[in-house]
Amino acid sequence: MKRAILLLSILFSQPVLAQHTPITTSESASYFKEIKKATKRNISLWNKNLYGNILLVDPQTRQVFSNSPDSGGLLNSHDDIYIGKLPENINIANTSISWSGKNWAMLMLPLPDDKHDRINLLAHELFHNAQHQLGFQQFNTESNHLDVKDGRIYLRLELEALKMALLAKSAQQQRIHLSNAFLFRQHRNFLFPNSNILENQLELNEGIAEFTGLIMSGRSHKEMVQHLEKEINTFFFNPTYIRSFAYCTTPVYGYLSYQKNKNWNKHIHSKTNLNELFIKQFQINLTTNDEKTIVRNANDYNGQVILQEEAIREENLRRKLAEYDSKLVVQPHLEISLKKMNVSFDPRTIIPLKDKGTVYPTIRIVDVWGTLEVKKNGALMSPNWNKISITIPTGISADQAEGDGWVLKLNPGYVIKKNEKTDTYILIKIE
């Protein structure tokens, strides 16, 4: 489905830096050589060379550097590099995208300074570009239970146990920590029915892509452990976990599995239950869901601190959700129908608003009616992605409207009208 493809393209959009030094053609050429060498060296990972079409895009100027020509002739050749400008109707993100007659891995500049991180990121997006050929669907479900207190608690406990498994000095210690990680996950999935399905879908999508980048990065074992530990510690500070957790869980389970069996990933597909596979891989026996045992084990993984922090967060979140519900649902607001959208947002910040949809603190949408950019104060996406709600306009002209934290640029033929009965504004096309 087209909409699902567009949703995939937004994961982990990076914030635009205030200032950065533009790269040169020689620098972009060196990046392409790095990833080409890494993918060739790791053909055995998927029995396929993942090297493909790449777009490096400067988000400030929209300048593009590519390793291959486009089919539409929009890029110009320059010393084996292809240069051009990305149109305004294409959102910029770290993503896979179909543009100008080809499929691409798009990455925002600047790329990481560290070579391992750079290759990791490039390989992640190249996996997405090839995942259909590898037999993987593009899943874009949201694990909203991971914004609930108990969901977050048992995810954090699982990740704390995974850190200890990475740092373990013996196979026996590692097995104990992995057993507890699976125990915390099992209890979380028990508390939230069907959550195992939702989590598995994102782990098959983003988790396997990140595992691919991790293996191709060229880090030593010591560097791998340090990197994964750092990623988990950084992840804990994400405002929300519902679309970003898989970047931490699957790479750890996958890397530890890879140390045992370098071919484990070659047998998975879109219907694989990764949790069951990893439990079997590590020969873990989960025999209890006893809450007393779980609470006792939690104390070994920073449990008391996690409980206190999540209790405070839950209270703060309750107030924030009440504010969003008031200004985007109860009070007069502007509703915009979505037709052929292309969206970009930061999945680390989105907030579920019960059955009313999901709040995106920042988001950029390109559709048939124009471009909406929300830079602060949020927008509410409906559960089925057919409309988005923002606060009422404070200024409207022929081709633009603006409100509290947002700007809407209108294509010809589209206007904003107010429903006098409900005080709700809508965007319509003039016939």
* pLDDT digits 0-9 by tens, 144-178: 999 999 999 999 999 999 999 999 999 999 999 99
Provide DSSP, 207-251.
Answer: IHHHHHHHHHT---HHHHHHHHHHHHHHHTTSS--TTTTHHHHHH
pLDDT at 291: 82
Three-class SS state of 270: coil
Structural contact between residues 335 and 425, judged by C-beta atoms closer than 8 angstroms: yes
**pLDDT, tens digit, 9 for 90 and up, residues 127-138:** 999 999 999 988
Q: Is the pLDDT of residue 332 over 50?
A: yes
Q: How far apart are CA 44 and CA 350, in angstroms?
A: 37
* Total of domains in the chain: 3
Residue 87, domain member (yes or no): yes
Question: What CA–CA distance (Å, rounded) separates 370 from 248?
Answer: 36
Same domain for 259 and 209? yes
106 and 97 in contact (C-beta within 8 Å)? yes
**Residue 153: per-residue pLDDT:** 98
Asked if pLDDT for residue 11 goes beyond 60, the answer is no
- Residue 91 shares a structural domain with residue 230: no
Q: Above 60 in pLDDT, residue 17?
A: no
Give domain status of residue 214, yes or no.
yes
Do 159 and 293 belong to one domain? yes
Q: In this predicted structure, what is the pLDDT of residue 5? A: 34
What is the average pLDDT across 218-242? Answer: 97
The CB-side HSE value for 195 (13 A sphere, CA atoms) comes to 22
Tell me the C-alpha distance between 157 and 306, whole Å.
8
Assess whether 95 and 157 both reside in one domain. no
Please report the pLDDT score of residue 421 as a whole number. 84
Percent of the chain with pLDDT over 90: 87
State the Cα torsion 193-201-271-191 to the nearest 10°.
Answer: -20
Residue 306 belongs to some domain of the structure: no
- Rounded to the nearest 5 percent, the helix, strand and coil shares of the chain are 45, 20, 35
Does 9 have pLDDT greater than 60? no
- Mean pLDDT score of the chain, rounded to an integer? 93
423 domain-assigned: yes
Q: Is the predicted pLDDT of residue 354 greater than 80, yes or no?
A: yes
- Domain co-membership, 104 together with 153: no
Sequence-separated (6 or more) residues with CB below 8 Å from residue 53 = 66, 67, 68, 102, 103, 104, 105, 129
The mean per-residue pLDDT over the stretch 27-47 comes to 98
Which of 101, 130, 159 is the endpoint of a domain? 130
Domain end position, chosen among 301, 318, 340: 301
Provide the residue range defining the domain that includes 270: 144-301
* Residues 294, 168 share a domain: yes
Q: Is the pTM of this model over 0.85?
A: yes
Whether 7 and 123 share a structural domain? yes
Query: Does 275 lie in the same domain as 209?
Result: yes
Element (H, E) at 301: none
Q: Is residue 46 located within the same domain as residue 108?
A: yes
Could you tell me if 287 and 337 lie in one domain? Answer: no
| pLDDT tens, position by position, 265-320 | 999 999 999 999 999 999 999 877 778 889 889 999 999 999 999 999 999 999 99
Residue 311 placed within a domain = no
Cα three-residue angle 262-265-267, rounded to 5 degrees? 115
User: What is the length of the chain?
Assistant: 431
Which of 130, 160, 182 corresponds to the end of one domain? 130
- In this prediction, residue 20 has a pLDDT band, given cuts at 50, 70 and 90, of low
Residue 322 within a domain: no
One domain, residues 170 and 276: yes
- Domain presence at residue 324: no
The H or E element that residue 133 is part of is none
Q: Which of 19-33, 88-102, 119-133, 219-233 has the lowest mean pLDDT?
A: 19-33
User: What pLDDT is stored for residue 3 in this prediction?
Assistant: 38
For residue 120, tell me if it sits in a domain.
yes
Q: Are residues 155 and 278 in the same domain?
A: yes
